[in-house]
Amino acid sequence: MSRSEAVSEVPAKAARVRCFTDELPLLAGVAAVLGGAVLLMAGDNFALNILATTFLMAGLATAWNVIGGFGGQFSLCHGVFFAEGAYLTANGVVHLGLSPWLSLAPAAVLGAVTALAISWPAFRLRGPFFAIATMTFSEVAYVLANYFDSVTGGAQGIRVPYHAGWLNMIFPGRIAYAWIMLGFLCCCLAASLLLLRSRLGYYLQAVRDNEAAAQASGIDVLRTKLLGFAISGGLTAIGGSVFMMYVRVVDPPTLLTLSDVGVRFALIALIGGVGTGYGPLLGALLVVPLEAWLRASVGAYVPGANLIVLGAVLVLAALFFRQGLAGALDRLLARRPGRRGAAAA
Protein backbone atom coordinates (compact mmCIF):
# COMPACT_ATOMS: atom_id res chain seq x y z
CA MET A 1 0.00 0.00 0.00
CA SER A 2 1.40 3.42 -0.97
CA ARG A 3 1.57 6.37 1.43
CA SER A 4 -1.35 8.14 -0.27
CA GLU A 5 -3.50 5.00 -0.10
CA ALA A 6 -2.62 4.55 3.58
CA VAL A 7 -3.57 8.16 4.33
CA SER A 8 -6.89 7.84 2.46
CA GLU A 9 -7.66 4.61 4.36
CA VAL A 10 -7.59 6.39 7.74
CA PRO A 11 -10.86 8.36 7.30
CA ALA A 12 -12.60 5.30 5.86
CA LYS A 13 -11.51 3.15 8.82
CA ALA A 14 -12.64 5.84 11.26
CA ALA A 15 -16.02 6.00 9.52
CA ARG A 16 -16.43 2.21 9.85
CA VAL A 17 -15.56 2.40 13.56
CA ARG A 18 -18.18 5.15 14.03
CA CYS A 19 -20.77 3.01 12.21
CA PHE A 20 -20.11 0.13 14.59
CA THR A 21 -20.15 2.31 17.71
CA ASP A 22 -23.50 3.68 16.55
CA GLU A 23 -24.82 0.11 16.79
CA LEU A 24 -23.69 -0.34 20.39
CA PRO A 25 -26.68 1.38 22.07
CA LEU A 26 -29.12 -0.83 20.16
CA LEU A 27 -27.07 -3.94 20.94
CA ALA A 28 -26.96 -2.99 24.62
CA GLY A 29 -30.72 -2.40 24.58
CA VAL A 30 -31.36 -5.81 23.01
CA ALA A 31 -29.13 -7.48 25.59
CA ALA A 32 -30.93 -5.63 28.40
CA VAL A 33 -34.37 -6.70 27.15
CA LEU A 34 -33.31 -10.32 26.79
CA GLY A 35 -31.62 -10.21 30.20
CA GLY A 36 -34.85 -8.83 31.66
CA ALA A 37 -36.70 -11.81 30.19
CA VAL A 38 -34.28 -14.14 31.96
CA LEU A 39 -34.88 -12.37 35.28
CA LEU A 40 -38.63 -12.41 34.69
CA MET A 41 -38.59 -16.19 34.15
CA ALA A 42 -36.32 -16.94 37.12
CA GLY A 43 -37.63 -19.96 38.99
CA ASP A 44 -39.45 -21.41 35.97
CA ASN A 45 -37.03 -24.01 34.62
CA PHE A 46 -39.27 -24.85 31.65
CA ALA A 47 -39.37 -21.23 30.46
CA LEU A 48 -35.64 -20.79 31.16
CA ASN A 49 -34.90 -23.90 29.10
CA ILE A 50 -36.80 -22.38 26.16
CA LEU A 51 -34.99 -19.07 26.59
CA ALA A 52 -31.57 -20.74 26.74
CA THR A 53 -32.33 -22.77 23.61
CA THR A 54 -33.61 -19.66 21.84
CA PHE A 55 -30.46 -17.69 22.65
CA LEU A 56 -28.25 -20.59 21.53
CA MET A 57 -30.10 -21.03 18.23
CA ALA A 58 -30.07 -17.27 17.65
CA GLY A 59 -26.30 -17.18 18.15
CA LEU A 60 -25.76 -20.14 15.82
CA ALA A 61 -28.05 -18.65 13.17
CA THR A 62 -26.14 -15.36 13.48
CA ALA A 63 -22.88 -17.26 12.95
CA TRP A 64 -24.34 -18.98 9.86
CA ASN A 65 -25.57 -15.59 8.60
CA VAL A 66 -21.97 -14.38 8.31
CA ILE A 67 -21.34 -16.61 5.30
CA GLY A 68 -24.91 -17.49 4.31
CA GLY A 69 -26.34 -13.97 4.58
CA PHE A 70 -23.49 -11.50 4.17
CA GLY A 71 -21.59 -13.71 1.74
CA GLY A 72 -24.55 -15.36 -0.01
CA GLN A 73 -23.02 -18.86 0.27
CA PHE A 74 -25.75 -21.31 1.33
CA SER A 75 -23.85 -23.73 3.56
CA LEU A 76 -25.35 -26.95 4.92
CA CYS A 77 -22.27 -28.20 6.75
CA HIS A 78 -22.31 -26.02 9.86
CA GLY A 79 -23.30 -29.07 11.87
CA VAL A 80 -19.71 -30.26 11.35
CA PHE A 81 -18.28 -27.23 13.19
CA PHE A 82 -21.01 -27.52 15.82
CA ALA A 83 -20.08 -31.18 16.42
CA GLU A 84 -16.35 -30.39 16.54
CA GLY A 85 -16.86 -27.89 19.32
CA ALA A 86 -19.03 -30.32 21.28
CA TYR A 87 -16.68 -33.30 20.93
CA LEU A 88 -13.56 -31.22 21.65
CA THR A 89 -15.08 -29.93 24.89
CA ALA A 90 -16.38 -33.35 25.93
CA ASN A 91 -13.02 -35.04 25.39
CA GLY A 92 -11.19 -32.30 27.24
CA VAL A 93 -13.49 -32.69 30.25
CA VAL A 94 -13.80 -36.50 30.27
CA HIS A 95 -10.30 -37.59 29.26
CA LEU A 96 -8.07 -34.68 30.30
CA GLY A 97 -10.02 -33.26 33.23
CA LEU A 98 -9.91 -29.73 31.79
CA SER A 99 -12.40 -27.00 32.48
CA PRO A 100 -14.79 -26.56 29.53
CA TRP A 101 -14.08 -22.82 29.60
CA LEU A 102 -10.55 -23.62 28.38
CA SER A 103 -11.91 -25.39 25.30
CA LEU A 104 -13.76 -22.39 23.83
CA ALA A 105 -10.75 -20.81 22.11
CA PRO A 106 -9.37 -24.14 20.75
CA ALA A 107 -12.87 -25.00 19.52
CA ALA A 108 -13.05 -21.71 17.61
CA VAL A 109 -9.64 -22.36 16.04
CA LEU A 110 -10.59 -25.93 15.11
CA GLY A 111 -13.89 -24.79 13.59
CA ALA A 112 -12.15 -22.06 11.58
CA VAL A 113 -9.44 -24.41 10.29
CA THR A 114 -11.99 -27.05 9.33
CA ALA A 115 -14.09 -24.41 7.57
CA LEU A 116 -11.05 -23.42 5.51
CA ALA A 117 -10.32 -27.05 4.65
CA ILE A 118 -13.91 -27.71 3.60
CA SER A 119 -14.52 -24.50 1.72
CA TRP A 120 -11.25 -24.46 -0.24
CA PRO A 121 -12.50 -27.11 -2.70
CA ALA A 122 -16.20 -26.36 -2.25
CA PHE A 123 -15.90 -22.71 -3.32
CA ARG A 124 -14.95 -23.90 -6.78
CA LEU A 125 -18.67 -24.59 -7.07
CA ARG A 126 -21.52 -22.09 -7.04
CA GLY A 127 -25.19 -21.90 -6.17
CA PRO A 128 -26.97 -25.21 -5.54
CA PHE A 129 -23.82 -27.19 -6.35
CA PHE A 130 -22.01 -25.49 -3.46
CA ALA A 131 -24.93 -26.32 -1.12
CA ILE A 132 -24.87 -29.97 -2.26
CA ALA A 133 -21.12 -30.16 -1.69
CA THR A 134 -21.42 -28.83 1.87
CA MET A 135 -24.27 -31.25 2.54
CA THR A 136 -21.97 -34.06 1.44
CA PHE A 137 -19.33 -33.01 3.97
CA SER A 138 -22.00 -33.12 6.67
CA GLU A 139 -23.02 -36.67 5.74
CA VAL A 140 -19.38 -37.80 5.67
CA ALA A 141 -18.85 -36.32 9.13
CA TYR A 142 -21.90 -38.24 10.38
CA VAL A 143 -20.39 -41.53 9.19
CA LEU A 144 -16.98 -40.71 10.67
CA ALA A 145 -18.54 -39.79 14.02
CA ASN A 146 -20.12 -43.23 14.21
CA TYR A 147 -16.87 -44.95 13.24
CA PHE A 148 -14.31 -43.18 15.47
CA ASP A 149 -15.86 -44.22 18.76
CA SER A 150 -12.65 -43.49 20.69
CA VAL A 151 -13.26 -39.77 20.09
CA THR A 152 -17.02 -39.50 19.68
CA GLY A 153 -18.28 -42.50 21.64
CA GLY A 154 -19.70 -43.94 18.42
CA ALA A 155 -23.44 -44.48 18.16
CA GLN A 156 -23.76 -44.47 21.96
CA GLY A 157 -22.34 -40.98 22.18
CA ILE A 158 -20.30 -39.38 24.91
CA ARG A 159 -21.43 -38.25 28.35
CA VAL A 160 -19.96 -35.63 30.67
CA PRO A 161 -20.34 -36.59 34.36
CA TYR A 162 -22.29 -34.28 36.62
CA HIS A 163 -20.02 -32.17 38.83
CA ALA A 164 -21.78 -28.89 39.51
CA GLY A 165 -19.76 -25.70 39.61
CA TRP A 166 -18.87 -22.61 37.58
CA LEU A 167 -15.44 -24.03 36.77
CA ASN A 168 -17.12 -27.11 35.25
CA MET A 169 -19.88 -25.07 33.54
CA ILE A 170 -22.46 -27.37 35.16
CA PHE A 171 -25.30 -25.95 37.24
CA PRO A 172 -28.27 -27.43 39.11
CA GLY A 173 -30.69 -24.79 37.74
CA ARG A 174 -31.36 -23.44 34.26
CA ILE A 175 -30.90 -19.73 34.88
CA ALA A 176 -27.10 -19.92 34.72
CA TYR A 177 -27.32 -21.62 31.32
CA ALA A 178 -29.66 -18.91 30.11
CA TRP A 179 -27.05 -16.28 31.03
CA ILE A 180 -24.29 -18.23 29.30
CA MET A 181 -26.35 -18.64 26.13
CA LEU A 182 -27.22 -14.94 26.24
CA GLY A 183 -23.52 -14.12 26.51
CA PHE A 184 -22.80 -16.35 23.50
CA LEU A 185 -25.57 -14.64 21.53
CA CYS A 186 -24.25 -11.17 22.38
CA CYS A 187 -20.73 -12.17 21.30
CA CYS A 188 -22.06 -13.48 17.97
CA LEU A 189 -24.14 -10.33 17.42
CA ALA A 190 -21.19 -8.07 18.24
CA ALA A 191 -18.87 -10.02 15.93
CA SER A 192 -21.51 -10.01 13.17
CA LEU A 193 -22.16 -6.26 13.41
CA LEU A 194 -18.45 -5.48 13.57
CA LEU A 195 -17.86 -7.64 10.50
CA LEU A 196 -20.79 -6.04 8.68
CA ARG A 197 -19.17 -2.60 9.10
CA SER A 198 -15.67 -3.78 8.21
CA ARG A 199 -13.87 -3.97 4.88
CA LEU A 200 -14.35 -7.76 4.85
CA GLY A 201 -18.07 -7.31 5.43
CA TYR A 202 -18.38 -4.96 2.47
CA TYR A 203 -16.38 -7.39 0.36
CA LEU A 204 -18.67 -10.27 1.35
CA GLN A 205 -21.75 -8.28 0.41
CA ALA A 206 -20.20 -7.30 -2.91
CA VAL A 207 -19.43 -10.96 -3.66
CA ARG A 208 -22.99 -11.91 -2.70
CA ASP A 209 -24.53 -9.26 -4.96
CA ASN A 210 -22.35 -9.86 -8.02
CA GLU A 211 -19.31 -12.07 -7.81
CA ALA A 212 -18.05 -11.25 -11.29
CA ALA A 213 -18.31 -7.50 -10.70
CA ALA A 214 -16.59 -7.85 -7.32
CA GLN A 215 -13.70 -9.71 -8.90
CA ALA A 216 -13.46 -7.18 -11.70
CA SER A 217 -13.22 -4.36 -9.14
CA GLY A 218 -10.16 -5.98 -7.55
CA ILE A 219 -11.65 -8.01 -4.71
CA ASP A 220 -9.96 -11.35 -4.03
CA VAL A 221 -13.19 -13.34 -4.14
CA LEU A 222 -11.82 -16.68 -2.92
CA ARG A 223 -9.93 -15.12 -0.01
CA THR A 224 -13.00 -13.13 1.01
CA LYS A 225 -15.23 -16.18 1.06
CA LEU A 226 -12.63 -18.26 2.89
CA LEU A 227 -12.26 -15.66 5.65
CA GLY A 228 -16.02 -15.30 6.02
CA PHE A 229 -16.46 -19.06 6.21
CA ALA A 230 -13.67 -19.36 8.81
CA ILE A 231 -15.26 -16.74 11.07
CA SER A 232 -18.65 -18.41 10.72
CA GLY A 233 -17.22 -21.86 11.47
CA GLY A 234 -15.28 -20.63 14.51
CA LEU A 235 -18.35 -19.03 16.10
CA THR A 236 -20.42 -22.14 15.40
CA ALA A 237 -17.84 -24.38 17.09
CA ILE A 238 -18.02 -22.22 20.23
CA GLY A 239 -21.78 -22.77 20.18
CA GLY A 240 -21.18 -26.51 20.04
CA SER A 241 -18.97 -26.29 23.12
CA VAL A 242 -21.55 -24.52 25.27
CA PHE A 243 -24.28 -26.84 23.95
CA MET A 244 -22.23 -29.85 25.09
CA MET A 245 -22.11 -28.58 28.65
CA TYR A 246 -25.79 -27.66 28.52
CA VAL A 247 -27.02 -31.16 27.66
CA ARG A 248 -23.91 -33.11 28.86
CA VAL A 249 -24.65 -36.06 26.57
CA VAL A 250 -24.53 -36.08 22.78
CA ASP A 251 -24.40 -38.57 19.94
CA PRO A 252 -23.96 -38.24 16.14
CA PRO A 253 -27.71 -37.82 15.39
CA THR A 254 -27.93 -34.99 17.92
CA LEU A 255 -25.03 -33.05 16.41
CA LEU A 256 -24.94 -33.99 12.75
CA THR A 257 -28.48 -34.75 11.57
CA LEU A 258 -28.97 -32.49 8.58
CA SER A 259 -32.64 -31.67 9.22
CA ASP A 260 -32.17 -30.91 12.93
CA VAL A 261 -28.85 -29.07 12.80
CA GLY A 262 -27.49 -28.14 9.37
CA VAL A 263 -30.74 -26.85 7.89
CA ARG A 264 -32.07 -25.41 11.14
CA PHE A 265 -29.47 -22.65 11.44
CA ALA A 266 -30.19 -21.56 7.87
CA LEU A 267 -33.96 -21.80 8.33
CA ILE A 268 -33.95 -19.55 11.40
CA ALA A 269 -31.82 -16.96 9.59
CA LEU A 270 -34.05 -17.07 6.50
CA ILE A 271 -37.25 -16.63 8.52
CA GLY A 272 -35.78 -13.77 10.51
CA GLY A 273 -34.12 -11.99 7.62
CA VAL A 274 -31.00 -13.33 5.96
CA GLY A 275 -28.19 -10.85 5.48
CA THR A 276 -29.41 -8.53 8.27
CA GLY A 277 -27.79 -7.90 11.63
CA TYR A 278 -30.68 -8.86 13.90
CA GLY A 279 -32.74 -11.04 11.54
CA PRO A 280 -31.44 -14.39 12.91
CA LEU A 281 -32.36 -13.27 16.43
CA LEU A 282 -35.91 -12.42 15.31
CA GLY A 283 -36.17 -15.79 13.57
CA ALA A 284 -35.08 -17.66 16.69
CA LEU A 285 -37.51 -15.69 18.86
CA LEU A 286 -40.31 -16.89 16.59
CA VAL A 287 -39.31 -20.44 15.66
CA VAL A 288 -37.91 -21.89 18.91
CA PRO A 289 -40.71 -20.86 21.34
CA LEU A 290 -43.36 -21.67 18.72
CA GLU A 291 -41.86 -25.11 18.21
CA ALA A 292 -41.82 -25.78 21.96
CA TRP A 293 -45.41 -24.58 22.40
CA LEU A 294 -46.67 -26.68 19.50
CA ARG A 295 -44.87 -29.75 20.81
CA ALA A 296 -46.47 -29.34 24.24
CA SER A 297 -49.98 -28.38 23.07
CA VAL A 298 -50.62 -30.01 19.70
CA GLY A 299 -48.05 -32.82 19.64
CA ALA A 300 -49.23 -34.10 23.01
CA TYR A 301 -52.62 -35.02 21.54
CA VAL A 302 -51.75 -35.91 17.93
CA PRO A 303 -48.18 -37.18 17.47
CA GLY A 304 -46.45 -35.35 14.64
CA ALA A 305 -49.19 -32.72 14.28
CA ASN A 306 -46.90 -30.09 15.78
CA LEU A 307 -44.45 -30.58 12.91
CA ILE A 308 -47.25 -30.17 10.37
CA VAL A 309 -48.44 -26.93 11.96
CA LEU A 310 -44.90 -25.62 12.32
CA GLY A 311 -44.16 -26.43 8.69
CA ALA A 312 -47.31 -24.60 7.59
CA VAL A 313 -46.33 -21.54 9.63
CA LEU A 314 -42.85 -21.51 8.14
CA VAL A 315 -44.23 -21.85 4.61
CA LEU A 316 -46.60 -18.92 5.21
CA ALA A 317 -43.74 -16.86 6.62
CA ALA A 318 -41.64 -17.62 3.54
CA LEU A 319 -44.53 -16.65 1.23
CA PHE A 320 -45.61 -13.41 2.87
CA PHE A 321 -42.33 -12.25 4.43
CA ARG A 322 -39.95 -12.57 1.51
CA GLN A 323 -37.31 -10.48 3.27
CA GLY A 324 -37.92 -12.15 6.63
CA LEU A 325 -39.22 -10.63 9.82
CA ALA A 326 -36.50 -7.98 9.78
CA GLY A 327 -37.60 -6.82 6.33
CA ALA A 328 -41.25 -6.72 7.41
CA LEU A 329 -40.30 -4.68 10.48
CA ASP A 330 -38.33 -2.22 8.33
CA ARG A 331 -41.30 -1.75 6.00
CA LEU A 332 -43.61 -1.23 8.97
CA LEU A 333 -41.34 1.43 10.45
CA ALA A 334 -40.97 3.11 7.06
CA ARG A 335 -44.75 3.68 6.92
CA ARG A 336 -44.64 5.90 10.00
CA PRO A 337 -45.33 9.56 9.07
CA GLY A 338 -42.09 10.76 10.64
CA ARG A 339 -39.98 8.21 8.79
CA ARG A 340 -41.77 8.92 5.49
CA GLY A 341 -41.18 12.65 5.87
CA ALA A 342 -37.54 12.10 6.72
CA ALA A 343 -37.13 9.80 3.72
CA ALA A 344 -38.78 12.40 1.45
CA ALA A 345 -36.50 15.11 2.80
> For position 11, what pLDDT does the model report?
53
> What's the mean pLDDT when you consider all of the chain?
86
Per-residue pLDDT band for 327 (boundaries 50, 70, 90) equals: confident
CATH code linked to domain 9-276: 1.10.3470
Helix and strand tally (H, E) in the chain?
16, 2
Any bridge partners for residue 159, and if so which?
249
Cα separation of 310 and 295, whole Å?
Answer: 9
Alpha-carbon distance values, 290 to 28, 174, 287, 294, 334 (Å): 26, 20, 5, 6, 27
Residue ranges covered by each domain of the chain? 9-276
The CA dihedral of 64, 68, 71, 77, to the nearest 10 degrees, is 80
pLDDT in tens, 164-178: 999 999 999 899 999
pLDDT in tens, 64-78: 999 999 999 988 899
Q: State what percent of residues in the chain have pLDDT above 90.
A: 54
Amino acid at 190: A
Per-residue pLDDT band for 339 (boundaries 50, 70, 90) equals: low
Beta strands in the chain (DSSP E): 158-159, 249-250
